[in-house]
Homo-oligomer: A and B are copies of this chain.
Amino acid sequence: MKIIKTIAAMKNAREKLSGTVGFVPTMGYLHEGHMELVRRAKSENQRTIVSIFVNPAQFSPGEDLDSYPRDIPRDMEMLEKVEPDIVFIPSPRGMYPPRFNTWVDVEKVTEHMEGALRPGHFRGVATVCTKLFNIVQPTTAYFGQKDAQQVVTIRKMVADLNMNVEIAVIPTLREPDGLAMSSRNVYLKPDERRAACILYHALKLAEKLWAQGEKDAHRIRQAMIKLIEEEPLAEVIGYVSIAHAETLEELHEIKPPALVSLAVKIGKPRLIDNIVLE
């Protein structure tokens, strides 16, 4: 497992790799969900590259860029168990040198949900992924379904700009009580941690109502909101959305595949989760 810290060295190392390359871009503070992405990348490719980069460009002003959890030694320990070929850890200054001025903007699919709450977030995501794809030149890049709107945005960008990379999406990994794994779960205090499974319960409720024949998106959203409001530590600060799984336009009548997603504040962090109604 080789650690590379500069873009030039990464490009250089990439040139020497032949065969298929799987790529797992991360912001570090890894959890089992990331490990699953690496395992999948390894099983499908001859070489695997993981990047760790807390991307300043995807944090909106006032967000948790400075306090975002970082622990490279801990990440390395975890990665040694799954053994990617290369771990790429660029510096913020290497990625965004002075006078950096080029941005990739994916419109429409980034308007609602996270995009509405986090100005510039997806511009930062699309830009850093473009850069990382150009540096790492992967055959396939692996993302988690937990960040559903990110997945839709990256897929759209790759298609629109004719990028030479496949996007693979891995199902969300969950804790035993249903909470989606996330680096931000570390922010939760014990009672908040117990309350946080409300996101999953609300999603399961949507799934149940849909299975029972409910097609009215508004009625399902209302039922989800009502359930969340019964949890005193939870606050629907974000959104409860039932949208077309590809265009992310909000639905009146549910037609599968539909993306049910939500953002709920539990204590300090705003948590997100989603399921797809097939």
Contact = CB atoms under 8 A, between A and B. Distances in A.
Interface in A98-130: 99-109, 126-127, 130
Interface stretch (A36-44, A65-73, A158-166, A264-272): A158-166
A121 to B, nearest CB: 16
A131 interface: yes
Main secondary structure of the interface of A (DSSP, over half): mixed
A35 B105 CA distance: 34
Nearest to A108: B101
A135 interface: yes
A134 B100 contact: no
A156 interface: yes
A199 B169 CA distance: 55
Nearest to A160: B102
Interface string A233-258: 00000000000000100000000000
B103 A108 contact: no
A109 B101 contact: yes
Nearest to A103: B105
A160 B107 contact: no
A157 interface: yes
Contacts of A130: 161
Given A99-B247, A247-B99, A162 B7 contact: yes
Given A101-B109, A102-B156, 17 more contacts: A11-B162, A99-B108, A100-B160, A101-B107, A102-B105, A102-B106, A102-B107, A102-B157, A102-B160, A102-B161, A104-B104, A104-B105, A104-B161, A127-B161, A130-B161, A131-B160, A134-B164
